[in-house]
Amino acid sequence: NAGVTQTPKFQVLKTGQSMTLQCAQDMNHNSMYWYRQDPGMGLRLIYYSASEGTTDKGEVPNGYNVSRLNKREFSLRLESAAPSQTSVYFCAGHGGLAADTQYFGPGTRLTVL
Amino acid sequence: AQSVTQPDIHITVSEGASLELRCNYSYGATPYLFWYVQSPGQGLQLLLKYFSGDTLVQGIKGFEAEFKRSQSSFNLRKPSVHWSDAAEYFCGYNAGNNRKLIWGLGTSLAVNP
Over residues A8-21, the pLDDT tens digits come to 999 999 999 999 99
Q: pLDDT band at B98, cuts 50/70/90?
A: low
Residue whose C-alpha is closest to residue B109's, from B67, B51, B63 = B63
Among B9, B44, B50, the strongest candidate for a mutation testing the A interface, having the largest count of A CBs within 10 A, is B44
Q: pLDDT band at A6, cuts 50/70/90?
A: very high
A23: alpha, beta or left? (left if phi > 0; alpha if psi -120 to 50)? beta
Nearest CB to A45; choose among B45, B90, B100: B100
Three-state secondary structure call for residue B100:
coil
* Percentage above 70 pLDDT, chain A: 96
Kindly report the average pLDDT of chain A as a whole number.
92
Nearest CB to B43; choose among A41, A95, A107: A107
d(CA B43, CA A20): 19
User: How crowded is residue A89: how many other Cβ atoms within 10 Å of its Cβ?
Assistant: 22
Tally of CA atoms within 13 A in the half-sphere of A26 that contains its CB: 5
Residues of A (22-51) whose Cβ lies below 8 Å from B: 31, 33, 40-43, 45, 48, 50
In this prediction, residues B26-46 reach a mean pLDDT of: 87
User: pLDDT of A56-110, one tens digit each?
Assistant: 999 899 999 999 989 999 999 999 999 999 999 999 998 766 567 888 999 999 9
Residue A52 pLDDT greater than 80, yes or no: yes
Interchain pair A56, B98: CB under 8 A: yes
Pairing of strands B24-26, B3-5: antiparallel
End-to-end CA distance of chain B: 41
Q: pLDDT band at A22, cuts 50/70/90?
A: very high
β-sheet bridge partners, residue B77: B20, B64
Interchain pair A31, B45: CB under 8 A: no
Residue B64 pLDDT greater than 70, yes or no: yes
User: How crowded is residue A84: how many other Cβ atoms within 10 Å of its Cβ?
Assistant: 11
Interchain pair A50, B98: CB under 8 A: yes
* pLDDT at A19 (0 to 100): 96
* pLDDT at B29 (0 to 100): 74
